[in-house]
Structure 1
Amino acid sequence: MSPPDPSAGSGRRVPVPVPARLRAWVRGSEVALVLLAALTGCLGGLAVAGMSGAAQLLREILYRLPAGERLSGLAALPGDGVFGLPFLGPALGGFVLGGLLLLLGWKRRRRAAIDPIEANALHGGRMSLRDSAEVAAQNVVSNGSGASVGLEAGYTQVAAGLASRLGIAFEMRRSDLRTLVGCGSAAAIAAAFGSPLTGAFYAYELVIGTYTIATLAPVVVAALCGSLVARSLASTPALIDVGALALSRGGTLGAADTLPCLLLGLVCAGLAVGLMRGVAFVERRFRATGLPALLRPALGGLCVGLLALATTPQVLSGGHGALHLHLDPGMALTAGGLAGLILAKAVASAVSIGSGFRGGLFFASLFLGALVGRLFAQVAPMAWPGFSEFGLAPVGYAVVGMSALAAAIVGGPLTMTFLALEMTGSFPVTALVLAAVIASSLTVRKTFGYSFATWRFHLRGESIRSAHDIGWIRSLTVGRMMRRDIRPVPLDTPMASFLRAHPLGSPSRVVVTDASERYAGIVLVPEAHALAAAEAGARLADVARYADAFLLPDMSAKQAAEAFDAAESEALAVLDRADSRRVIGLLTESHTLKRYSDELDRQRRAVLGEAA
């Protein structure tokens, strides 16, 4: 078992006591892992139902909505909401969020809460349950007050946090703990959308980072349990079934229908990159105002509320009610109206996240994609004379656009493809969705290189492109691999004394230091003997090499390998710091590559589910 990672939060806490025999059974049995995944799925379903109900209750209180009414589905803001000024709802939520952050000790925090992707990429699945619960509470306040953010980020955060806590209690192996965190995320998404396949592939693509036979059973079981629990507690499904409505009257789908879907996928890719960059731009603008971070959500909420007042309530909250409206074939908007709504929703989402509200772009990307699809179906016939002969109806293009834009932003092509399949129940429509999703995700990956989650990591200075486990690479540092039994030799040592102390056949490399005991290079013993035989007045300084090439103890194995290549040396000295240049060890290239190879093989066995 990997040692606890202090930066992961949960590593500082003492695990909940679990009987040794039970812990050993869970660690050594695949059946036990599946059972634990089922428990995780049930807890995830309960968490989703609880968060969804709490956010809806908050909206009903603030905006005086009838029970079950969706805020984004209203035609106009209710006049009796939020004390007669309904546009102040998001601003009020921003004030509450700022107070909540202050109460939770925001000023004392030195790090952001670790989300499931970061946990699996860097920390072996270790997350803080307390941090996850705080994020979930902030997400409920943000969404419930009307800020244009979805609840999906909070769903996955708390469900994965519960899963991680369970795994830590049973002292699970690194690979199993990462799988269990994926199970929590799968359960959350499956419960949110009533779509087990969508939830499972969300876990594979975004949280675990790969699909293997070893992870199939636990992830799918967790997704099924999460979906079943949420359905038993929720009164209405999250999405409507468009089914045959995706096809035009008497329309049949053929190979030619792929062409407009590919074009729609490219359009969605461009909009996705623009939206992600827009969020970062708005965040920079809010920071440039000089306003304290705890007050920025209130200002952002006021902007969103005024935008909703000037346009439509469809820009508020996650957008579930609005998506229902626009997946209804009877819903009619002009091309200008659709374009205006797309712009307004994109601005509302960017302002909400950029100002500090908690949430993500998962559902916003679905809603925006549906709007883009319907706009595409209206505008395309003007430039494409034969467009009306294609078999997809405007609702079908809405489904294609929804999946393509969400795949570009969220980063799960198969996740969004299966969501379309579970919505429509149509394999022909799903095939077109898959074509658009491939075009969209490939374009974003080649031109931008990030999903929204990994883009946020990039802005924080983290080089994470997926949940693929790179934490073990970072933990395989030079400080852990180096030899410490190094006795540096002063550079001014007489050559004769050096040769007597280091005859041919002794260790071939000797580290030398200057008069201040600072690193001065490496002397190769055979070269010293050869030079002494050729020149009578030879000095150690004449054969000292690599004075400017060295390693630091916090370098990873990958960085060390790059340093060996750059210096063209088989060994380098390890210094405590670049400024002090005090020698603390020596590392060879062969040992580095061996340790790296051993770790790769161990990771490969873990992925395949083989015994270590």
Structure 2
Amino acid sequence: MALVLSRLSHIIDRKASNRVVTRLRALLRSNEFYLIPLALVIGVATGATVTVMSLIAQFAHVFIYGIPIDVRLSANAWIDPVIALIAPAIGGLVLGVMEWLRRRWKIAPAVDPVEANALRGGRLSMRDSVVVSGQTLVSNGSGASVGLEAGYTQIGAGIASLLGQYLTLRRNDMRLILGCGAAAAIAAAFGAPITGAFYACELIVGVYSVGSAAPILAASLAGALTSQYLAGAPYSLEVQKVGAVGFEQYIALFVLALLVAGIGIVVMRASPAVERLFVRIPVWLRPAIGGVCVGAMAIVTPQVLAAGHGAMLLDLHREMAVGMIATIIVLKLAACLISLASGFRGGLFFASLFIGSLLGKLFAGVLALAGLGLALDPLVAMLTGMATLGVAIVGGPLTMSFLVLEMTRSVDVTAVVLGACIVTSVCVRVLFGHSFSTWRLHLRGETIRSANDVGWLRNLTVERLMRSDVAKVPTTTTIAACRREFALGTRQAVVVVNNSDDYCGLVSLPDLFSGELDSIADEIQVVELAKYFEVALLPEMNVKTAMKIFDDSGAEELAVLESENSRKVIGFLTESFARRRYVEEIDQATRGVLGALS
């Protein structure tokens, strides 16, 4: 009896839980306002996770390198050379074995938030997100020259996607919620809620939307406040005093922005070249060798280790020789490229900020030595270099500008930084067209250039759009016989096939019923009227490709062939239907831009 009552109680509880979830789903679908509480939950969870990850990484640095617990790894003046060589190598070996096992077990590579929002409607695997975040912790914790921000955004987006999938949110809502997770992660990492919100809008969601503003800001604030309450933002950057920017400095800073744009492009172009250096090395050994290279550079200066947060805080206000700055820039760039190329996991967000700040300091130092009479504040130059290299590599001019605003609380400095960021963004877009994340996707064969939702376009294939009730006639059929079989107005066209059922062209019914053919309709075969023999569609083509073929050929209807190597006709598609469906999907995909998410 007790067992029966226990089972009944379990069934009742499960039904009650299902009813609650069903009502919650209905609320979330009915009004965008109800996404805000969900965004707050995501923000708190992400902020707490970011705090835990940052503490684990710092404890790893303390345990492995024997540094004081309140000092960042890259801020140390000296580290043990033996540990510098061994620690990244061991961490790399762990990652190498994990990658070897992934390939052996044929597990697909993890999807990042940009790819998830661009191609998968905001769907991320929580298992993959945990693995990627763990690998990022191993990489950063062992001292590889990468930041934790990639792991932060991955786990934040993974938490958001998990909740969204549990609540079966619609595609637009899933993409928005994923942006909330990424916004909370960046806000928690930097203690900068506005920066986190714009990071999500520019780089993860891909649009600035009235409807998405409230949930993203809510998640960003919740993430920032949670991390501040628990242990403080791990990548907090604050500049107490910064001088005013005179008009004469604008030109110099815009020149800096152009130089930084070129450096950013060179860095991204160099990435695949460095990767090719590791191709012939066994995959399990690559990160270990990369770790030894990074460790060797750390013996020269520990500033190449980890993300560089401590080093950046150290270098912001101290006097440095031009030669020393240039050396650190070269070594840090090399360490970052080698770390990522060899197989370490992590991001270049903070590394680009650190290197950019040094580029600004170097630029100001060179100007001072040149004796041109132009007094450029090194701190302003550092902030400009930091933001512009961030734009060149990561993207998001408004994200970087608001990061400077939240660091300095200075509108004057932010104004010139915004102008410089726009200059860099335009140059990189025109001359290169990618950020680092989309460039790496491009190298894998993807064509996306932002997080804008193009997944629907790839899903809208010719196979989904075509009709399979094909009207076929043999090549030997006469015009008269074809007229008797297909009345005018019943079809737009008929497909002509040979004895092997291979495609031989299309004949439009208006052409078939032309009055000029009446006298010879019993003598002429229908194949004489066939057109578009060399033009056809394939089932895997997307609608955009199909419409281009319609435009180039001038056809109103085209046959769909089985494959590139087969001439068998499996369906047909009309231009009017393809265009109508394309417009409908565009309307649905962009409905959230003006806030109409329902």
Under TM normalisation by the shorter chain, which class is it? over 0.9
In structure 2, what is the equivalent of residue 95 of structure 1? Answer: 93
1:232 equivalenced with 2:229 (yes/no) = yes
Partner of 1:465: helix, strand, or coil? Answer: coil
Q: How does 1:123-272 map to 2 (within 5 A)?
A: 123-235=120-232, 238-244=235-241, 246-247=242-243, 252-272=244-264
One-letter code aligned to 1:262: F
In structure 2, what is the equivalent of residue 460 of structure 1? Answer: 444
Q: What's the offset of the Cα at 1:235?
A: 4.8
CA contact (8 A) 2:88 2:288 kept: yes
- Normalising by structure 2, what TM-score? 0.94
Cα deviation 1:460-490 (Å, max 9, x = unaligned): 1101111111111111111111112113211
In structure 2, what is the equivalent of residue 39 of structure 1? Answer: 41
Distance 2:590 2:378 in 1: 46
Distance 2:538 2:221 in 1: 48
1:345 equivalenced with 2:332 (yes/no) = yes
Compared CA separation, residues 76 and 491, structure 1 to 2 (3 A): same
1:573 equivalenced with 2:595 (yes/no) = no
Partner of 1:582: helix, strand, or coil? Answer: strand
Cα deviation 1:128-153 (Å, max 9, x = unaligned): 00001000000000011010011111
Q: How does 1:112-123 map to 2 (within 5 A)?
A: 112-123=109-120
Cα deviation 1:185-231 (Å, max 9, x = unaligned): 00000000000011000000000111111011100010000001111
One-letter code aligned to 1:178: R
Q: How does 1:456-605 map to 2 (within 5 A)?
A: 456-530=440-514, 532-533=517-518, 535=520, 537-605=523-591
Q: What's the offset of the Cα at 1:534?
A: 5.2
In structure 2, what is the equivalent of residue 4 of structure 1? Answer: none
1:303 equivalenced with 2:305 (yes/no) = no
1:364 equivalenced with 2:351 (yes/no) = yes
One-letter code aligned to 2:563: R
One-letter code aligned to 2:84: P
Distance 1:592 1:195 in 2: 45
Distance 1:228 1:506 in 2: 66
Q: How does 1:282-361 map to 2 (within 5 A)?
A: 282-287=274-279, 290-309=280-299, 311-328=300-317, 331-361=318-348
CA contact (8 A) 2:188 2:233 kept: no
CA contact (8 A) 2:561 2:567 kept: yes
Partner of 1:584: helix, strand, or coil? Answer: strand
Q: What's the offset of the Cα at 1:22?
A: 2.1
Q: What's the offset of the Cα at 1:520?
A: 1.1
Q: What's the offset of the Cα at 1:258?
A: 1.0
Name the % identity: 47
One-letter code aligned to 2:305: L
Cα deviation 1:390-437 (Å, max 9, x = unaligned): 5xx212211111011111110010000000011111110111111111
Q: What's the offset of the Cα at 1:102?
A: 4.6
CA contact (8 A) 1:27 1:171 kept: no
One-letter code aligned to 1:286: F
Q: What's the offset of the Cα at 1:66?
A: 1.8
Distance 1:54 1:377 in 2: 37
In structure 2, what is the equivalent of residue 20 of structure 1? Answer: 22
In structure 1, what is the equivalent of residue 10 of structure 2? Answer: none
One-letter code aligned to 1:416: M
- 2:384 pairs with 384, 400, 403, which one? 400
CA contact (8 A) 2:492 2:557 kept: no
Distance 2:29 2:511 in 1: 54
Distance 1:383 1:137 in 2: 47
- 1:69 pairs with 71, 74, 78, which one? 71
In structure 2, what is the equivalent of residue 13 of structure 1? Answer: none
CA contact (8 A) 1:261 1:435 kept: no
Distance 2:373 2:443 in 1: 44
Compared CA separation, residues 466 and 611, structure 1 to 2 (3 A): closer
Distance 2:555 2:434 in 1: 36
Q: What's the offset of the Cα at 1:611?
A: 5.9
List gaps (5 residues or longer) in structure 2: 1-16
In structure 1, what is the equivalent of residue 11 of structure 2? Answer: none
Compared CA separation, residues 555 and 339, structure 1 to 2 (3 A): same
Cα deviation 1:513-558 (Å, max 9, x = unaligned): 1111111110123323436435463122211111111111111110
- Normalising by structure 1, what TM-score? 0.92
Cα deviation 1:62-85 (Å, max 9, x = unaligned): 111221321111111136xxxx54
CA contact (8 A) 2:191 2:233 kept: no
One-letter code aligned to 2:576: S
Q: Comparing 92-101 with 147-156, which one deviates more in the overlay?
A: 92-101
CA RMSD of aligned residues (A): 1.7
Distance 1:504 1:495 in 2: 13
CA contact (8 A) 2:164 2:174 kept: yes
One-letter code aligned to 1:478: V
Cα deviation 1:36-86 (Å, max 9, x = unaligned): 00000011101111111111111111111221321111111136xxxx543
1:608 equivalenced with 2:574 (yes/no) = no
Partner of 1:587: helix, strand, or coil? Answer: strand
One-letter code aligned to 1:323: M
Compared CA separation, residues 509 and 38, structure 1 to 2 (3 A): same
Distance 1:451 1:522 in 2: 45
Distance 1:237 1:94 in 2: 24
Q: What's the offset of the Cα at 1:237?
A: 5.4
One-letter code aligned to 1:266: L
Partner of 2:284: helix, strand, or coil? Answer: coil
CA contact (8 A) 2:496 2:527 kept: no
Partner of 1:484: helix, strand, or coil? Answer: coil
Q: Comparing 207-216 with 535-544, which one deviates more in the overlay?
A: 535-544
In structure 2, what is the equivalent of residue 426 of structure 1? Answer: 410
Distance 1:106 1:578 in 2: 30
In structure 1, what is the equivalent of residue 366 of structure 2? Answer: 379
In structure 1, what is the equivalent of residue 432 of structure 2? Answer: 448
Distance 1:503 1:409 in 2: 62
Q: What's the offset of the Cα at 1:503?
A: 3.7
Q: What's the offset of the Cα at 1:376?
A: 0.6
Partner of 1:190: helix, strand, or coil? Answer: helix
One-letter code aligned to 1:461: G
Distance 1:415 1:141 in 2: 28
In structure 1, what is the equivalent of residue 12 of structure 2? Answer: none
Distance 1:100 1:580 in 2: 42
Cα deviation 1:80-130 (Å, max 9, x = unaligned): xxxx54322111110121233455x34223532111111111111011000
Compared CA separation, residues 481 and 61, structure 1 to 2 (3 A): same
